[in-house]
Structure 1
Amino acid sequence: MRVCLLIIAFIVSGDLMAQRMPHGMVYGSKPSRVGLVQANKLEAFMGKRPRVSVSVAGRVAQVTNTKGGWFDVDAGNGKIITAHFKNNSINIPKSLKNRYIVMDGVAQRQMISDDHQHYAGGDSRGHSRPSGPRHLLSFEVKGLVVEK
């Protein structure tokens, strides 16, 4: 009898420790679905605008820092959108990796100087431009909801 109760208690406690992230979990404010753009089409949607307020749907590639909500979203073709919450008090779990999300906020292009203006006054022969457009977009998240 005691063994049966012990086994049942062990199973129940194991389920409580490994809680799954429920569908529809919201971090920050609930995002709007009006004008929803897929992550792989965000750069084309922005055109030549440096900043745009938009709702984006995509898959989380990696959670870089749980405190403050820092994560990367897969934008297709090897491109990554770096994202973080506007409110630093929001913490996200590591289990958010490979989940599909909808996030609302401000997308911004990262400006890279072509003519090394950030080295003005110095010798720029030893410096080179970063190769490959991996992190060209950053996203400041106001709200996020877990889709699947």
Structure 2
Amino acid sequence: MKLLYLLVALFLSIGAGAQQHTPLPHGTVYGKKPSITSMMPATKLEAYMGNRTRISTTIEGKVIKVTKTKGGWFELDAGNGKIINAHFKDYAVTIPTDLKGRTVIIEGVAQKQFIADDGQHFAGDTVAGKKQHNVNANPKQSLTFEVSGLMVDK
């Protein structure tokens, strides 16, 4: 009888071990496969954009953290302590939390954050020429990226 319990425990432990997440292999694609013909590092994206507010491009960068798996929300390292907030265009895409720390290639639309309160007044302000509203814009998170396709690189 003890042998039977031992065998059952052995089979259950093998089954539980098989359910653990395996590392993501190189080339795993989420969404559509990104084109790598005009790829650039994520650290150079803001300088490449210059005065443009939106561009379509492909970048390569390291995932800092996955904020929400459904819809593919994650943060990408943009260098110099800056962060690119990224999410999938298609909300049906689900990404694993195992992407944290991995280098990925993403294709989509990069956009600079727009702050409407830069030197503008609000209708109804009583004191002309003086700002009465504070905008808490984080300079480290000035770029957003709407991803159409992601591929695990490293």
Please give the TM-score of this superposition, normalised by the length of structure 1: 0.87
Which deviations, in whole Å up to 9, do the C-alpha atoms of 1:95-119 show, x marking residues without a partner?
11111000001111111231144x3
Map of 2:70 onto structure 1: 67
Sequence identity of aligned pairs in percent? Answer: 46
Match of 1:146 among 140, 148, 152: 152
Cα distance, 1:58 vs structure 2: 0.2
Cα distance, 1:4 vs structure 2: 5.8
Alignment of 1:48-87 (within 5 A): 48-87=51-90
Is the 2:115–2:137 Cα contact (8 Å) retained in structure 1? no
RMSD: 2.0
- 1:11 paired with 2:17, answer no
What stretches of structure 1 of length at least 5 have no aligned partner?
A: none
Q: How many residues align?
A: 147
Task: Look up the SS of the partner of 1:41 in the other structure.
Answer: helix
Considering only CA atoms, is the larger Rg found in Structure 1 or Structure 2? 2
Map of 1:98 onto structure 2: 101
Question: Partner letter of residue 119 of structure 2?
Answer: D
Please give the TM-score of this superposition, normalised by the length of structure 2: 0.84
Aligned counterparts of 1:139 and 1:21: Cα–Cα separation in 2: 22
What stretches of structure 2 of length at least 5 have no aligned partner?
A: none
Which deviations, in whole Å up to 9, do the C-alpha atoms of 1:111-145 show, x marking residues without a partner?
1231144x333366442343551111110100000
Aligned counterparts of 2:36 and 2:46: Cα–Cα separation in 1: 18
Aligned counterparts of 1:89 and 1:11: Cα–Cα separation in 2: 33
